[in-house]
Structure formats: C-alpha cells, structure tokens
Amino acid sequence: MAGLIHEELSGKIIGAAMDVLNKMKPGLDEKLYERALLIELRRRDRVVEPQKEFPVFYESELIGNLIPNLIVDEKVIVDAKVVTGFNEAHIAQMVGYLTITDLEPALLLNFKSARLEWKRVVRQQKPGFKAPNLHA
C-alpha cells in the first residue's frame, strides 16, 4: 500500500500547529492562529504563501479568485479554524480548494480546544485515473 501524499510534510505542519496552540492557548480568532502558524512554519524553514490567489473560471470565463489561508512548500493547503468540530461543509470547501489549486492534500486545523484537532482532506480519484505529471 502506498504512503499518504506528502505525509512527512503534513506531520511537520501538524507539529508546528501543536506548538502554536500550546504557546497561544485555545479560543482566539482564526486569523491569529493562521498568522502565528505562518511565523512558526517559516522558522522551521518551510516556504509558506499566505492568501495566495488562484483564478476561478466557469466555462472559460474568470468569475473570481480562491484564496486559501496558507500554501506550504507549494504542496499542502492549510486552513486554520476555531470551530466546535469539523463538518461536511469544511471538508467540501477543502475538496473545492484542492480541485481548483490542483494541490494534494489539504489540512484542516482546529484551534478551538486545548488539544489540536486536524483532518487531512484529499480529492477522490476516479478508478483508473492517473494524474498528469505537472513537473515533467
């Protein structure tokens, strides 16, 4: 069985988020955790792009921009939350982000409680589907 996509990087992001939560404590505004995580990840020599814009098209016409919280090492979408628990809407949002950005995976990080909650989200691939090699 193949390993998870960007498993090591995802683990490092989760570890950084745990450190942020331990230092800042739970219950603050999402943006504060996002900014602190940006600082923590950069201190750990990660390349982090906050609020990177991705154009969104419908029928070849630009309809707006998608702006995820953080993109880490051009590979993983990170979304900070302060919620009671993740729900289907949070997961659906991340699937949409993955589809538009063509990245894998996304990490939902919940800073609501003293213990960090996280959820990895990946797009479902159709059987027999092989993703194109974008880095050839």
Q: Residues 113-127: pLDDT tens digits?
A: 999 999 999 987 554
Residue 130: CB partners within 8 Å, gap ≥ 6?
none
**pLDDT the model gives residue 123:** 81
Q: Is residue 41 part of a domain?
A: yes
CB 72 within 8 A of CB 22: no
CB 111 within 8 A of CB 26: yes
pLDDT band at 128 (very low <50, low <70, confident <90, very high): very low
Give me the mean pLDDT over the 91-109 stretch: 94
Q: Is residue 132 part of a domain?
A: no
**pLDDT the model gives residue 4:** 77
Q: Which domain holds residue 15?
A: 7-121
For the entire predicted model, the pTM comes to 0.85
Q: Provide the 3-class DSSP secondary structure of residue 46.
A: coil
Q: Residues 35-83: pLDDT tens digits?
A: 999 999 999 999 999 999 999 999 999 999 999 999 999 999 999 999 9
Q: Is residue 129 part of a domain?
A: no
**pLDDT the model gives residue 125:** 59
Q: How many domains does the chain have?
A: 1
Q: Is residue 128 part of a domain?
A: no
CATH number at residue 20: 3.90.320.10
Q: Is residue 135 part of a domain?
A: no
Nearest-angstrom CA–CA distance, 37 and 18:
9
Nearest-angstrom CA–CA distance, 57 and 64:
7
